[in-house]
Amino acid sequence: MDGLSKSFVLAVTLVSSSVILVIAFAWFGPGLGSAISLASASLFDEEAVQAVYDRISPAVVDVNVELKAGDSFSRLGFGSGFVIDSDGHIVTNYHVIQQADRVRISFEDGTSALAKILGTNPANDLALLKVPSEAVAGIDPIPFGDSGKARPGQLAIAIGSPFGLDGSVTVGVISALGRSLPVNSQVTLLDLIQTDAPINPGNSGGPLVNLHGEVVGI
């Protein structure tokens, strides 16, 4: 693919089997009473999740997609992404930026920078962006984990910008592995991770991490 960098090839290799399929689960009926009592108990290690959030949330960014109209640009949509190195490379989902004439990245500290689209992989719904290295100075990249070691029941932490609410964190578990999702008549995403961590529009492109703060899915 034209313009595909070595970093993007590495990113695709590491996460191409880890795009997230999210299915919301609901249970009604005779078990409702016990479900309510369970909900009042702590379902995860809050301090551990807070530690992961504090450590990696500065590397989670807003991806603002803009459309050119004449001599000006207007906002077309938004999603999330995350910094993967100190050179300014950012990974997001392909569908977030596929119609973009310009992409602007917004950081946790309120700064922003224009991004170049270095490469795309529609078959795995991945895209690699690049901002100037000085834009990510002082930001620790989020490390990749091994999605091949993911198991149902493991904690899953999602960070992104649902509905444009940046820096939002949700928690769930890895529900299943090896799922597939038809996108259109030409593309079906394979080997997906299913999670019950709440995901909403705007979360797309953000990281799904394990308890060690390592990316296992996007």
Closest C-alpha to 106, from 137, 61, 140: 61
Exactly one of 7, 85, 87, 95 is catalytic; name it: 95
Q: Is residue 74 flagged as an active site residue? A: no
**Cα 132 from Cα 138, distance rounded (Å):** 13
Place of tokens 């080997």: 191
Q: Return the number of other C-beta atoms located less than 10 Å from residue 65's C-beta.
A: 20
Parallel, antiparallel, or unpaired for β 20-22 and 188-195? parallel
Q: Is residue 80 flagged as an active site residue? A: no
Q: Is residue 204 flagged as an active site residue? A: yes
**Cα 37 from Cα 127, distance rounded (Å):** 42
Type of residue at 64: N
Parallel, antiparallel, or unpaired for β 89-92 and 20-22? unpaired
Q: What is the dihedral of CA 75, 79, 165, 173, to 10 degrees?
A: 170
Exactly one of 18, 57, 89, 125 is catalytic; name it: 125
Q: Which residues are marked as active site?
A: 95, 125, 204
